[in-house]
Structure 1
Amino acid sequence: MFWFMEGMCFLPVSLVIWSSSSFIVSYITALLERHVDPVFPYISDTGTEPPDSGIFGVMITLASFLGVATMYTRYKFLEKLNETTHAISTKLNKSALFLGIIGCLGMCVVATFQMYPSGSTLIVCYIRMGISGISIIAVVPMIVCALMVPRTQLHWDPDEKDYPLHLVSAVCEWIVAFGFVCYFLTYIKEFQKFTLKTKAEFIDCY
């Protein structure tokens, strides 16, 4: 067995190789398209213009998911190690996992939304990024708190033990839902600038 196939070693190895390849491939593509200068351009600049932006977005998005998988595996490893050594705070381990996942998701957002489209303004771009960021952050406590509640019910008493967890999960769910709705509100100004026409054609098959 190769060394990089031992245990879960393939995860960090894949992450390093894929992430490095993402930067190099997008750089080469941008260079061939003459979108950047050959001497040390910003990495973000190599993923600004199409087709570089498409390649950069897809590869970095996959890298971010590999990062999440690596962070989670590291979290489980430290959790198991801590059963015997008790050298690491459980809260610290969970906090590191949370921050790691947020960082990876942030990288995914940056890779996907490198620039604002023509027809839109920079302010609208910032608003969309803000909505996306808040929604992504709200997803985590929504899921975690829901999983920590052992039962589901329609009516809750504020004095119940699990009520705070239910409340946090419910509030975050509302944030995510209205974040989804508000995101599409930002399309209104752009959609005012064009119309669509459909044309139906009948094909005689006989």
Structure 2
Amino acid sequence: MFWFKQGLCFLPAFLVIWSSSTFIVSYIIALFRRDIDIIFPYISDTGATPPESCIFGLMTFISACAGVATIYARYKYVEKLSEETRVVCKCLNQAALVLGLLSCLGMLIVATFQETTVPEVHDVGAVIFFTSGIIYTILQSVISYRAYPFGSSMGVCQARLGIAVLATLAFFPTVICAFFVKQSVLHRTTDDEDYAYHLASAVCEWIAAFSFICFFLTYIDDFKLFTLRVSTEYED
């Protein structure tokens, strides 16, 4: 049996591959159309101009749906694990679920409201996405350690913690440097007064985003162990 047919491990695998492709495809299209600069634009810059904005929006919607499915499946897995072992607090698992779903909502807001058209709403969506997503990775790292040795191995627990720390460390420079970026333009030059802040903010944004995405790679082994079924009941 192929590994991706075991349990639900295809969910996180698809989420990581598709989300990474979303960023990369929109970046390549925007680059070939010369809508952005080659050196580290903001992720949102790659999906700000048609036709890449349309592709970015569509692919991000699919990523958000895959994210919701993966986050909910993880929630049910931890819930089932806690019923048998009582190692994870129910409120902690529920908090992680809510934050994970909020991050997906933020992702949709970012893709729907481009930074060049409705920047205020776009920025709110970005803050929701990154803040909720990073806290979600932290909570899941805590859950993993509390559930050990049930569920994940110590190596996986350490990997999750490392990714969560990296995403957190990258998030703060992203926000702080963004406050000093005075121009909201797609093309930058090294002569711009705020270029250094823009570059630092953009680099850290890419690191934070891919750290959050790669976090779901650590779910693959766990998701091999279970499946979810929908039960239908008919009432007269």
Structure-2-length-normalised TM-score: 0.50
Extract unaligned runs of 5+ from structure 2.
Answer: 129-236
Whether the 8 Å CA contact 2:19–2:60 is kept in 1: the answer is: yes
Residue 95, structure 1, aligned to residue 99, structure 2: no
**CA offset digits 1:86-121 (Å, max 9, x no partner):** 01000110111011001111111111111354xxx7
Residue 77, structure 1, aligned to residue 55, structure 2: no
Whether the 8 Å CA contact 2:109–2:121 is kept in 1: the answer is: no
State the one-letter code of the partner of 1:32: F
**Which of the pair has more CA radius of gyration?**
1
* 2:115 aligned counterpart, secondary structure: coil
* 1:21 aligned counterpart, secondary structure: helix
Higher relative CO (Cα under 8 Å, sequence separation at least 6) belongs to 2
The 5 Å alignment of 1:174-193 reads: none
State the one-letter code of the partner of 1:15: L
* 1:46 aligned counterpart, secondary structure: helix
The 5 Å alignment of 1:145-184 reads: none
The 5 Å alignment of 1:1-206 reads: 1-115=1-115, 117=117, 126=121
Q: Supply the distance in 1 between the matched residues of 2:37 and 2:2 (Cα, whole angstroms).
A: 39
Structure-1-length-normalised TM-score: 0.57
**CA offset digits 1:9-33 (Å, max 9, x no partner):** 0000000000010011001100111
Q: What is the aligned residue count?
A: 125
- In structure 2, do the counterparts of structure 1 residues 112 and 90 end up closer, same or farther at CA, with 3 Å as the change threshold? same
Query: Cα distance, 1:5 vs. partner?
Result: 1.8
Aligned-CA RMSD value: 2.1
* 1:8 aligned counterpart, secondary structure: coil
Task: Tell me the percent identity.
Answer: 56
* 2:49 aligned counterpart, secondary structure: coil
Extract unaligned runs of 5+ from structure 1.
Answer: 134-206
- In structure 2, do the counterparts of structure 1 residues 8 and 112 end up closer, same or farther at CA, with 3 Å as the change threshold? same
Instruction: Compare the two structures and name the one with the higher helix fraction.
Output: 2
Whether the 8 Å CA contact 2:48–2:116 is kept in 1: the answer is: no
